Amino acid sequence: MYRLLGVYPLLLLSFSALSQPYQVGFLAVRGATHAQAQWAPTLALLNAQVPDHEFIGHYLSQEQLDAALAEQSLDFVVTNPAHFMLSHHQPLNWLASYLDPHYGQARASVAATLWVRADSELTQPEQLRGQRVGAVHKTAFGGYLLVAEQLRKRNISPQELALTFSGYPLDALAYGLRDGVVAAAILPSCLLEDMAQDGLIELANFRALMVQPDSRCVRSTPLYPGWSFASVGNLDESVLRAITQALLQFEIAGQPQWGAAVRLDEVASLLMDWQLGPEPSPIAHERLLRQFMLQHWPWLASFVALLLGHLLYHWRVTVLLRRRSKECAQLHSQVQQKEQTLSHARQRILMGEMATGLAHELNQPLSAIQAYAQAGELMQDTAQHKTAFSQIVAETERGAAIIRRFRQWATQPLPSAEPVDLNELCQELVTRLSPRAEALGVKFKAELKAQLAQSTLNPAMLVTVRPAVEQVLNNLLNNALEAQVRRLSQEPAHQAWISLNVSPVQTGWLLLIEDNAGGIDEDIIRTLQHNLPASHYHGMGIGLLVSHRLVLRLQGQLIVSNTEQGTQVRLLFK
């Protein structure tokens, strides 16, 4: 029995000797003492929760940690995500991510701050050009890389700064800024707040640049994923599982200390922008490409088939487009030929209208000239002879004016508009036509002065082309006279009269011409409504059609209608 009791301690000693030790490397950014105090609870947890194994902590700077990883003397490592991304040549396996107590999460818990002294004249990051700026390391993720990225977005190149890298621990760089060794310092966020809480510095002596809003600690950059616990090499899966479970269940004062491993896409993108990290070999690229093609060949075949179909469709569309373009060119040529034919037809119609209208208009002064000449032969008095010849000269000038107006109407735009006194114009026409009307036995009823005298409008307010209005009124009054001549030839006892009335209306001036000659043919009125070419209609209505065309060019309206006694013409000018 006593022999067995003597052997028992020996068995315990031999069993403890058989427990496997694991080397854990911690990145000591603030020195070994601070790192040992920070990570001691985690190390004690692993020794308590993972039996038969001993976890030994090593608190190293970044260079020392890189050297230990290269020598393969570490089994586990606790470091920032950038260090992990830059150690791709090492077989690191992320197990859990640290829940930073300042932010309470791992997904967004690392940032950096650009500090200056509170009494410094530097207020904007652009003022740092040429200034001495301190950082701990050129690849420090929670410091230089994050701030330098924000400076680069402001078009501030690192080459424009007098950079100095002091190395770890971080506290030395904070003291250097306090003592004026550097004009500015790039430090991890919350570092100065922690140092101030420990009584090492006065936070009021420092001021941050590029401050980000809504943050528990002053920071100059966005938040990135935090620190993580990773294994090195190929370790026992059961041990890794036990370690991960212990870390995820670890709490201090009811607060979880570790969470599930987070993705590092943002960190990888940042490092890629700075062209950091080892370049993958071409062989690895080829291997990945071959593996991808073998894994997804059905999708790649479908894509190639779709691409070929698209190319064939594009070729077919191109052929059809060329064919349609050729057809469109032929149709365009045909349309041009039709337009030329239509233009020639319009010219012929215009010439027909001009010739017909010219013949009609010239018939009036020629008839008047003939009448005055015949009357002059029968007159014996010299004064009467002189009057007859004066009328002949006036009618000759009127015929020449008609020719000029027709030429202008056919080939040129109308003359410029001017103020027209309708009372004066109508009075001239009445005076000119009255002798002929009296000789034919037709009575003129011209109501001009009375109507205009009652109006508040000035007669000169009508702005139009006077020769064109005179031509239209002359045609309309002569048409009325010719209609009365035909009526008197059939009914000698007929009491013929023609009325000319000028009155203002709301939209302009209204000229009303009425007679009791019995009306005109309805076909002429329909011709006016449909605006048919004058060469398609012959007879009494030619002058009316020409007048209608001219009124339209004057932006007016000419409305012809038959009444119980004769014809009514409403001429409206705006």
Q: Is the pLDDT of residue 184 over 90?
A: yes
How far apart CA 101 and CA 121 sit, in angstroms, is 34
Is residue 238 located within the same domain as residue 116?
Answer: no
Q: How many CA atoms lie within 13 A of 534 on its CB side?
A: 23
- Residue at 326 is within a domain: no
Beta carbons within 8 Å of 268's beta carbon, 6+ residues apart: 85
Put the strands of the sheet holding 112-117 in their side by side order.
162-165, 132-135, 184-188, 112-117, 206-209
- The parent domain of residue 172 ranges over 112-209
pLDDT of residue 512: 92
User: Do the Cβ atoms of 101 and 227 come closer than 8 Å?
Assistant: no
Per-residue pLDDT, averaged over 523-543, amounts to 57
What stretches of 412-448 show up as alpha helix (H) in DSSP? 422-440
Is residue 500 located within the same domain as residue 424?
Answer: yes
Is residue 160 located within the same domain as residue 94?
Answer: no
Characterize the bridge pairing of strands 567-573 and 557-562. Answer: antiparallel
- Residue at 118 is within a domain: yes
Is residue 116 located within the same domain as residue 247?
Answer: no
Beta carbons within 8 Å of 309's beta carbon, 6+ residues apart: none
Is residue 116 located within the same domain as residue 80?
Answer: no
Based on the structure, what is the number of domains in the chain?
3
Is residue 54 located within the same domain as residue 125?
Answer: no
Residue-wise pLDDT tens digits, 315-360: 999 999 998 888 888 888 888 887 777 767 656 655 665 666 666 6
Among 157, 177, 209, residue at a domain's last position? 209
- Residue at 411 is within a domain: no
CATH classification of the domain holding 515: 3.30.565.10
- Residue at 327 is within a domain: no
User: Do the Cβ atoms of 573 and 554 come closer than 8 Å?
Assistant: yes
Q: Is the pLDDT of residue 234 over 60?
A: yes
Is residue 489 located within the same domain as residue 569?
Answer: yes
- Residue at 358 is within a domain: no
Q: Is the pLDDT of residue 73 over 70?
A: yes
Is residue 427 located within the same domain as residue 567?
Answer: yes
Residue-wise pLDDT tens digits, 13-44: 443 444 678 999 998 888 888 888 888 998 88
Q: Is the pLDDT of residue 8 over 50?
A: no
How far apart CA 478 and CA 472 sit, in angstroms, is 10
Is residue 139 located within the same domain as residue 175?
Answer: yes
- Residue at 235 is within a domain: yes
Is residue 525 located within the same domain as residue 548?
Answer: yes
pLDDT of residue 272: 58
CATH classification of the domain holding 199: 3.40.190.10
How far apart CA 372 and CA 388 sit, in angstroms, is 6
- Residue at 301 is within a domain: no
Residue-wise pLDDT tens digits, 406-415: 666 556 665 6
pLDDT tier at 221 (50, 70, 90 boundaries)? confident
pLDDT of residue 498: 92
Among 257, 279, 301, residue at a domain's last position? 279
Among 279, 296, 322, residue at a domain's last position? 279
- Residue at 332 is within a domain: no
Is residue 422 located within the same domain as residue 532?
Answer: yes
Is residue 150 located within the same domain as residue 258?
Answer: no
